[in-house]
Amino acid sequence: MSSFADHLKETPSQTAGPYVHIGTNPNFIGNNGVYPADLGVVMVNEKTRGERITITGKVIDGSGTLLRDALLEIWQADADGLFNSRSETRGTADPEFTGWGRQPVDFETGVYRFETIKPGRVPFTDGRLQAPHIMFWIVARGINMGLHTRMYFGDEEAANADDPVLAKIEHKVRVPTLIAQADGKSYTFDIYLQGEKETVFFDI
């Protein structure tokens, strides 16, 4: 007898947009009153431990055109390398830090911006410490499935050189696509979807 699953067909994929902001960031598009504030906009407060940093960048397609409707989410450890998650078993993360953020790019400039802290180092599956990094998820019109990548810090050369994930990237010339450029406490991380400068994306 065939199982019920044999009669099911795969659900067609659909791009995230052009109306993704209506559900995720209504205040950003002027649809006020749904939430007091859009979820994920604020990650830190005056009590959050750690070094305050700003991350800005653009999402660029294969033709070199800015994506002005992209939405980005980030997930990171706190200053001590602990995640704000129920699955965190190594200790208790900073309760004043969300560890998660969501920001749309600005429609006019095409720039996204996160106000957060520099994360601590977290162990790899084999116990080796990873370099400080932030995980990114990107959606926009034309992207059928959200893209996952990482941002490492340009002023963490020694830690980056020992990072077990970066070491797994076969084509070393592509490693710089994951490194944010530092200017004091500000970091620039542009994401290229295709082309010569295509960012390394991870299959998660």
Report pLDDT digits (tens) over 97-142.
999 999 999 999 999 999 999 999 999 999 999 999 999 999 988 7
The domain covering 37-192 belongs, at the CATH homologous superfamily level, to Aromatic compound dioxygenase (2.60.130.10)
Contacts of 119 (CB under 8 A, 6+ apart): 76, 77, 78, 79, 81, 132, 133, 134
Question: Which stretches of the chain are DSSP H helices?
Answer: 20-24, 157-161, 164-167
Strand partners, 191: 59
Residue 5 pLDDT greater than 60, yes or no: no
Question: DSSP state, 164?
Answer: H
* pLDDT on residue 26: 86
Q: Please report the sign of the dihedral spanned by the C-alpha atoms of residue 173, residue 177, residue 179, residue 181.
A: positive
Mean pLDDT for 19-35 is 83
Residue 41 pLDDT greater than 60, yes or no: yes
